[in-house]
Structure formats: C-alpha cells, structure tokens
Amino acid sequence: MTDAAATPAYVVPHHPIRQALTGSVASIAFTLIAVIAVGLIWIGPKFVSFGNISIIGTFLIVPLIVGAFSGFALLAGVVDLSIGSIVGISAAIFALLITQGWPLWLAAVVTLAICLVIGAVNAIAIVRYGADPIAATLGMLVALRGIDWVLVGNQRMISAFNIEYFTLINSQVFGLPLFFLIAIGITLIAALVVAKTRLGRHVQAVGGDDRAAARAGISVKGVRTLALMLSAFGAGLGGLIFVGQLGSAAGATGLGLEFQVYAALMIGGYSILRGGVGNPLGGALGLMAVAGVANILDLGRISPYYVNIIVGLLLLAAVLLDRLRGGDAYE
C-alpha cells in the first residue's frame, strides 16, 4: 500500500467562528443589526431606550412563545396553520372559566389540556390518515375561529380581568417585561433542545427525510405527533398570556397571528418548503427584526401598512434563498 493511499485525505476543519458568521442565524442577526442602525439614525437614541424596548418586548411575548413551539412542527416537516385560532380559542376558554369562578391555575391547566387535544386531532388527521398538513390545519383554523366567535357571544368580548394575574403578566424586571425575558428563555431552551438533544436531532431528521429517518429506527409518526402537540401547546400558552395582558378575550384574539409568526420564522431561516431547516434563535431574531421595523415606522409616524410591504419583500427574499438552497426536494 502506498503512502498516499495509507494517509487519509486532509479535511478542512469547520471553524466555529466561520460557521457563526455564515449560518442562517448570522444572516438574520446582521439584518437585525441593520434594523437597529436604521432606528438609531432615523429615530435617535429613543429607539434603544428601555421604555421603547419594553414596548417592543411586550408586543413580542406571545409571538416569541408561539414561534418557539410551532418551530418544532416546521422542523418536523409539517405546517400548523391553526396556531392563531388556537391562541384565540385558548383565550376564550380561559376567560370563560375565570368568569365562572374557577381558580386561575385550574383554568389554565384545563385550557392547555384542551389545546393539547386540538393538537392531537391535527396529528390524527395528518399523521395517521395522511391528510395534507396545510389543508388539515386550515380547516382547523376556520373551525376554531367559528367556535371562538360562538363562545364570546354577541358582546364580541369576554371580560376576565383579574388584578393578580394582570399584575403578574405585566410585571417588569430591570425595566423589561418579565414575560419577555421568559419568552427569550423559552427560545434558548428550544434552541438547546434542537441542537443538543436526541429529540432535536430526531425532529430534524424526520423533517429532512422521513424515509431515511424511518430506516434509522426513528418513529416518524411519533415525532410529528409530538411536534404538532407542542405547536398547539405553545399557542395555548399564547392565549393565556393575551388574557393577562388585556384582561379579556375577543373573537379576533390571535387573528392572523399564524401569518405574522410564520413570516418571521421564514425570514429567520425556517422553511415551509422543507423540514429539518431552521433554528429557534433565528426565528426569534426574525420576529425581533420585524417588530423593530414596525416600531420604527410607528415612531416615525408612517402608515403601518408599509410594514406589510417590507415584511412581504423580506419573505419573498427568504423564499427565494430557500429555493436556491434546494428547498423543494428531499430525494
């Protein structure tokens, strides 16, 4: 055997700094930095003041939590369009139980249990019977929104103000909303689960190539069922928080949230065209970038409709980049 054959080929090591600067999370991080720079130039120091960051953080609490959980469904290769309506039905049920005199903790447990059942129904349709995820969850979205309007009744709102709960949800730590910090913590935990645990690797494997994952002994049905239930659970948490923030639940609670969250997640590196792609940190940065743009326009007294134009263009760019990376094939 020759020396050349005996000597293994030299492999260029993956440098962690190079990976950090070229990955999808880095791309959206640079976008967020650019948004902050524009805010400082256009608005001034007020843009990064604790007061303004607190306002943005309050707005981001529910999207961050919903995005952290629904990102697992995207990674597993299924799209859950019903998350906005689950937020709405969660808020309505929780508010109704509070008005009936239920203890807050028991009302929360029952509400979240119902949301898990909704996630299980989505999983039965999609995983067991092979329904198209978009069609199945779109049907759930419409059905739940109708139930939501029935629950709130003719008054179009359920008043469920509780001073202790309102104070808790809206409390601040070091000048920032407590639950904004909790939402960031949930995002970090989700990122660790995706990157460092067997569950995270299984979710990505199932989303990337379900047939190869099945050959490797991974339960594709089990992983996707769990991902859909996690997505519904996160949306249920969002509904509970909305009731605490507003002291009420309305038929329009969570309306359109699925598009807001998924647009930001795709801008942050997730893919609706293929599973196994994305990172909770990138999704959170995408949500922050979109919220920053909206805040700049608001402080600049510019029509909020321009946010839709900017987000739409960013989303188109994200879809194009995903296609260039080979976003429609698993073979």
Amino acid 52: pLDDT = 94
Q: Please, are residues 299 and 199 in contact by the beta-carbon 8 Å criterion?
A: no
pLDDT value of residue 31: 85
Q: How far is CA 7 from the centre of its chain?
A: 48
| DSSP of 159-210 | E---HHHHHHHT-EETTEEHHHHHHHHHHHHHHHHHHHSHHHHHHHHHHH-H
* Helix (H/G/I), strand (E/B), else coil: 82: coil
Determine the pLDDT at residue 19: 46
Enumerate the β-bridge partners of residue 249. 158
Q: What's the confidence (pLDDT) of residue 323?
A: 65
Domain ranges for the chain, please list them: 30-324
Contact between 223 and 206 (Cβ < 8 Å): yes
Tell me the CA distances in angstroms from 205 to 124, 192, 194, 326, one per residue in order: 21, 16, 11, 17
Radius of gyration of the chain (CA): 21
pLDDT in tens, the chain (331 residues): 444 444 444 444 444 444 444 456 777 888 899 999 999 999 999 999 999 999 999 999 999 999 999 999 999 999 999 999 999 999 999 999 999 999 999 999 999 999 999 999 999 999 999 999 999 999 999 999 999 999 998 778 899 999 999 999 999 998 899 999 999 999 999 999 999 999 999 999 999 999 999 999 999 999 999 999 999 999 999 999 999 999 999 999 999 899 889 988 988 889 877 888 889 999 999 999 999 999 999 998 888 788 888 888 877 877 776 666 554 433 3
Place of tokens 């659970």: 233
Residue 152, CA atoms < 13 Å, CB-side half-sphere: 22
> Tokens in use for 283?
């999704």
Cβ neighbours, 10 Å, residue 256: 9
Give CA–CA dist 297/294, Å, rounded. Answer: 5
Class of domain 30-324: mainly alpha
Q: What is the pTM of this model?
A: 0.88
> Nearest Cα to 59, choosing from 216, 288, 226?
288
Percentage helix, strand, coil, to 5, in the chain?
75, 5, 25
C-alpha–C-alpha distance, residues 172 and 167, integer Å: 9
Between CA 273 and CA 74 the distance in angstroms is 9
Q: Are 127 and 224 in contact (CB under 8 A)?
A: yes
